[in-house]
Structure 1
Amino acid sequence: MEDAVKRPYKSRVRAAAAAEKRAAIRTAAMDLFLQKGYSATTLKEVAARAGVGERTLYDGFPTKGALFEHVAAVAITGDEEPVALADRPEFQAALTERDPHRAVALYAAYSAEVLERAAPLINVAIESAGADPVLRRFSDQGAAATRANTRAFVDSLVKHRLLEGDPEDLAMAAFALVVPLVHQQMRRDLGWSAQRYQRWLESSLARILLGR
């Protein structure tokens, strides 16, 4: 009985230690990708900055592309759970909200939250996509997912009879507002605060989708 108690405890300790190492690797990798770019960053540098052995890093992430995709996926979703943005409660709340202004506010808030975490890293991928097939695939898939999610939100408003107009045109107009480049131009280049960007996004989406 004592051994049975010790085993789950040891398993929890090992799992916690592994999660701590992954978090350190993610932090180091993101810092380097943002500082130096994807091409100039090496796995050896990531391991050194994270304070882990190169073998440990390679065991979890055998290629730089695999590491980038992991870091980006966690930045986008906010955790390591294999749940797509479209299936997250925050996004579903925007889809089911019957008040149009509240629905837009929920969608804008969640979009801004995701972009705040992930837009800088996504832009690194976009900048390097032409020279790396892994990043090109990541960038293409990310853009497609954002378009699909935006269209799903617009379709939910149409379904609930909260707006009128061509869903495709409205979805593409909304999509143009939530791309990472726009977020970065306002947050980094114009020096806007995260709160100001979210307010702008909400009011712009309301004008485009609701006409006010």
Structure 2
Amino acid sequence: MDEVKGTGGSVKRPDKRAERSRRTREKIVAAARDLFVAQGYGVTSLQEVADRAGVAVQTVYFVFRTKRGLFKDVVDTTIAGDAEPVATMDRAWFRAACAEPTAAGQLRSHVRGVADILGRVAPIMPVIAAAAATDPEIAAQWPAAGPDPRYTVQHAAAKALTAKPDARPDVDADRAADLLYGLLSPELYLIFVRDRGWSPEAWEEWAATTLAAQLCTDAPVSTGRGQAGVS
């Protein structure tokens, strides 16, 4: 960042070049996401992405090097909601949910946070599956070896939830993690919202009340965001 002198000493001001680079990257990612969802990964060219983003195709290559690199950035930023290198368990919404004093309160906040992620991720899930099926190097960007990152997040949430006073005493953290992992999965979200026409709010309400019956002694937990039905 540049520095300017003032009566109080040096004051940092935003680096205009870094800000321009950030905005350019965001425009390219947004354009690529729209095109990948609309017409698929395979048929989308980097020239089309550049044209939609209003930049030169050389800029796309300079920033992302390859189409695969761009695709990974699209997926990662879609999941996170931004380009900040912050893990899910370190994000404010997750930490705030885990800090809730009751299991019911944590569950309500947790489902809300996951719903936000799934609302962003759901449209691109079929694109990821199709791209990985046709390009082995795409699948290799998210190695299957090791713990599933989504399960790791849900297990951390489950450990916090099962330690709360209104958590069901007969459900341990592993069982709770399985329930969170299964009921809050992208696949199940797509079945209800995309295939069956539920509104996202109706899915959220259903997921919260269903999980509350399994995990909390004082069920159900209403989100106040809709009834289980179509939009």
Please tell me the TM-score bracket, short chain as reference: 0.7 to 0.9
Which residue pairs with 1:28 in the alignment? 31
Partner of 2:228: none
Q: Which structure's CA Rg is the greater one?
A: 2
The aligned residue for residue 52 of structure 2 is 49
Match of 1:188 in 2: 194
- After TM superposition, the runs of 4+ consecutive aligned structure 1 residues lying more than 6 A away are none
The one-letter amino acid of 2:197's match is: G
Aligned pairs, number: 207
Aligned residue among 146, 149, 155 for 1:151:
155
Query: Residue 80 of structure 2 aligns with which residue?
Result: 77
Indicate the residue corresponding to 1:163 in structure 2: 168
Match of 2:64?
61
Give per-residue Cα distances to partners, 1:111-146, cap 9 Å, x unaligned: 0011111222233212332332343243848x8111
The aligned counterpart of 2:118 is 115
What letter matches 2:84 in structure 1? E
* TM-score, structure 2 as length reference: 0.80
- Identity in percent: 33
SS in 1 for 2:18: helix
Q: 1:30 Cα shift? A: 0.5
SS in 2 for 1:45: helix
Q: Determine the C-alpha separation between the residues in 2 that align with 1:209 and 1:90.
A: 20
Q: What one-letter code is carried by the residue in structure 1 that aligns with 2:160?
A: S
Indicate the structure with greater strand content.
2
Name the Cα RMSD after superposition.
Answer: 2.4
| Structure with the largest fraction of helix | 1
Displacement of 1:167 after TM fit? 2.7
Report how far residue 58 of structure 1 moved.
Answer: 0.3
- Larger RCO: 1 or 2 (CA < 8 Å, sep 6+): 1
> Could you list the runs of 5+ residues in structure 2 that have no partner in the other structure?
6-11, 220-231
**Contact 1:157 1:163 (C-alpha < 8 Å) held by counterparts:** no
- TM-score (structure 1 length as normaliser): 0.86
